[in-house]
């Protein structure tokens, strides 16, 4: 700021000096012309008017030369900005005279812009160095596809060399290019290059710089993170499967061992005599128990099979309020003692693209879960509301039950995880699959006295 004020002061001084120089020269020309006229009419000296005339012409020539020289210096000065050449220096002392303020101003301005140019170049080199050392791949290109920035991690992650235009990606990996074209601005997506075993998190951002439209795409390798999450999910699933299978197999083994002991004599051989009525009753009860446990295990396996084959949504237009009213009416008879209220924020004319039957399955599951959590509670109620943010619709289902503890909350969407005595634990996990099939999501927040499930479309 101080440099800017100093430059401005020098510039004002220089132009004031220029104006003064022109004014003085014009006054001298006027005085010379007046003297020539006076000598012509008032004296008899023939050479005096000629001398004053020649002097006036010389002064005109000197003035023209002075103005033209200043104009030429200004042109050179301004052209140096067009050429980004700030290394030129002007001689501030002409013919041993005092400083020429115009030259001083020129040099000061050039020095200031040279400093700014160096700072800009240093910042550019700094950003370039940072871009090359970060692990995130970056590609920035203009609206016409010309790449302005492509760092080394981007080349390595995408498995391509440095490119001049972004559409040249198609020559190296057509599938990758299609995935990049499908990126929506501001949204994260997972893209998978054809070469290598990488999974990349990609995000596109559009911006404008100096009246030029740019698109910046970042790439980050999340293969290790996904593998870790996948391993964690498998471990949780195996724990649930092991728990359920052990719960069924352990009593079956115990009961078959008991039946075997009843049907053997002391020598470990099969009894040939008729069994006592009490033993027959024990055998019958054991077989019934084994059958029940077998059916329970079979039902569990069928539920697992159904979960691994999620239904494919049949998308169509659906009026949100009408669908909510119809679904609530279906389940209302089973919601004894629980009031279900629809928020006035739900628009009557809001239509979404969804599978009505599958979403009804999700909503009914959430309503029943809320009712079971509030069983025996006075003033139990569930409020259904909605809100929109940008191009997203958020449908909230809030109950005033006791809430869900943190240790349970993190596992409720895991397949077959359940805290109910009777239940297979696939309701919420299947609901999440249905929402993912709609390119949406289901999330939950819970505190003491309130639990909210949010369906995002």
Query: pLDDT tens-digit profile of 427-457?
Result: 788 888 888 888 888 999 988 888 999 999 8
Helix (H) or strand (E) holding 206: strand 200-209
Mean pLDDT, range 84-90, rounded to an integer: 64
Do 247 and 300 reside in the same domain of the chain?
yes
CATH number of the domain within which 234 lies: 1.10.287
Q: Is residue 129 included in any domain, yes or no?
A: no
- Please compute the mean of the pLDDT values over residues 294-300 and round it to a whole number: 73
Which of 307, 339, 359 represents a domain boundary (last residue)? 307
pLDDT exceeds cutoff 80 at 416 = no
Q: pLDDT, tens digit, for every residue of 100-109?
A: 666 666 667 7
Residues 51 and 93 in one domain: yes
Calculate the alpha carbon distances from 313 to 89, 310, 360, 434 in Å: 74, 9, 12, 8
* Mean pLDDT value of segment 353-373: 87
Q: Are residues 106 and 150 in the same domain?
A: no
> Residue 146: beta bridge partners?
165
Least trusted range by pLDDT, from 39-53, 218-232, 248-262, 391-405: 39-53
The pLDDT of residue 244 is: 67
Whether 360 and 403 map to the same domain: the answer is yes
- Cβ(205)–Cβ(216) below 8 Å: yes
Q: Which of 88-102, 195-209, 261-275 has the lowest mean pLDDT?
A: 88-102
Q: What is the pLDDT of residues 111-163, one digit of tens each?
A: 777 777 777 777 777 777 777 777 788 888 998 889 888 888 888 888 888 88
* pLDDT value at residue 1: 47
Predicted structure pTM score: 0.45
Contact between 136 and 149 under an 8 Å Cβ cutoff? The reply is no
Range of the domain at 302: 226-307
CA 416 to chain CA mean position, Å: 32
Verify that 230 and 214 share a domain, yes or no.
Answer: no
327 and 303 both lie in a single domain: no
Q: 202, exposed or middle or buried, with CB in 10 Å at 0-12, 13-18, 19+?
A: buried
Q: Is 326 in the same domain as 372? A: yes
The residues, ordered by sequence, that sit 6+ positions from 380 with a Cβ below 8 Å of its Cβ are 337, 338, 339, 371, 374, 399, 400, 401
**Across 8-31, average pLDDT:** 69
How many domains would you assign to the chain? 4
| Residue 335 shares a structural domain with residue 447 | yes
Band (422; pLDDT cuts 50, 70, 90): low
Q: How many residues does this entry show for the chain? A: 457
- Considering the domain architecture, whether residues 101 and 37 belong to the same structural domain is answered as yes
Instruction: Mark whether 231 and 216 lie in a shared domain.
Output: no
- Local confidence band at 277 (pLDDT 50, 70, 90 cut-offs): confident
Domain presence at residue 126: no
- Is residue 128 domain-resident? no
User: Does residue 97 carry a pLDDT above 70?
Assistant: no
| 28 lies in the same domain as 89 | yes
Residue 424 has a pLDDT of 61
Domain boundary among 273, 307, 341: 307
- Whether residue 279 sits in one domain with residue 213: no
* 414-423 mean pLDDT: 68
Query: Which of 88, 121, 154 is the last residue in one of the domains?
Result: 121
pLDDT surpasses 60 at 3? no
């Amino acid at each position: 700021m101080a440099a800017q004020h100093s430059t401005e002061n020098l510039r004002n001084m220089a132009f004031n000096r220029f104006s003064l120089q022109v004014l003085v020269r014009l006054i001298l020309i006027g005085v010379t012309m007046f003297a020539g006229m006076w000598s012509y009419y008032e004296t008899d000296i023939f050479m005096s008017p000629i001398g004053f005339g020649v002097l006036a012409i010389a002064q005109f020539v000197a003035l023209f030369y002075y103005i033209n020289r200043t104009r030429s210096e200004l042109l050179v000065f301004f052209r140096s900005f067009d050429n980004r050449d700030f290394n030129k220096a002007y001689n501030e002392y002409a013919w041993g005279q005092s400083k020429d303020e115009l030259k001083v101003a020129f040099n000061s301005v050039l020095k200031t812009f040279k400093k700014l140019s160096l700072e800009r170049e240093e910042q550019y080199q700094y950003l370039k160095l940072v871009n090359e050392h970060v692990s995130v791949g970056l590609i920035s290109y203009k609206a016409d596809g010309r790449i302005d920035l492509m760092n080394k991690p981007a080349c390595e992650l995408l498995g391509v060399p440095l490119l001049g235009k972004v559409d040249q990606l198609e020559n190296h990996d057509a599938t990758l290019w299609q995935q990049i074209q499908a990126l929506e601005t501001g949204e994260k997506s997972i893209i998978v290059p054809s070469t290598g075993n990488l999974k990349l998190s990609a995000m596109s951002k559009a911006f404008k710089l100096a009246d030029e439209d740019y698109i910046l795409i970042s790439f980050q390798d999340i293969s290790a993170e996904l593998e870790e999450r996948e391993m964690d999910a498998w471990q949780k699933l195996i724990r649930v499967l092991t728990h359920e299978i052990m719960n069924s197999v352990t009593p079956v083994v115990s009961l078959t061992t008991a039946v075997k002991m009843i049907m053997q004599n002391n020598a470990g051989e099969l009894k040939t005599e008729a069994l006592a009525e009490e033993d027959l009753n024990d055998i019958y009860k054991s077989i019934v128990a084994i059958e029940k446990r077998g059916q329970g295990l079979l039902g569990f396996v069928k539920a697992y099979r159904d979960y691994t084959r999620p239904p494919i949504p049949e998308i169509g237009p659906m009026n949100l309020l009408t669908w909510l009213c119809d679904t609530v009416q279906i389940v209302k008879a089973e919601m004894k003692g629980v009031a279900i209220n629809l928020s006035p924020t739900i628009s009557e004319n809001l239509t979404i693209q969804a599978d009505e039957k599958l979403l009804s399955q999700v909503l009914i599951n959430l309503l029943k879960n809320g009712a079971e959590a509030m069983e025996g509670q006075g003033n139990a109620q569930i409020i259904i509301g909605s809100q929109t943010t940008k191009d997203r619709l958020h449908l909230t289902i809030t109950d005033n039950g006791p809430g869900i503890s943190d240790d349970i909350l993190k596992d409720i969407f895991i397949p077959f995880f359940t805290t109910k005595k009777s239940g297979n634990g696939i309701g919420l996990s299947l609901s999440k699959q249905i929402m993912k099939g709609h390119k949406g999501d289901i999330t939950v927040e819970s505190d003491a006295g309130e639990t909210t499930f949010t369906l995002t479309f």
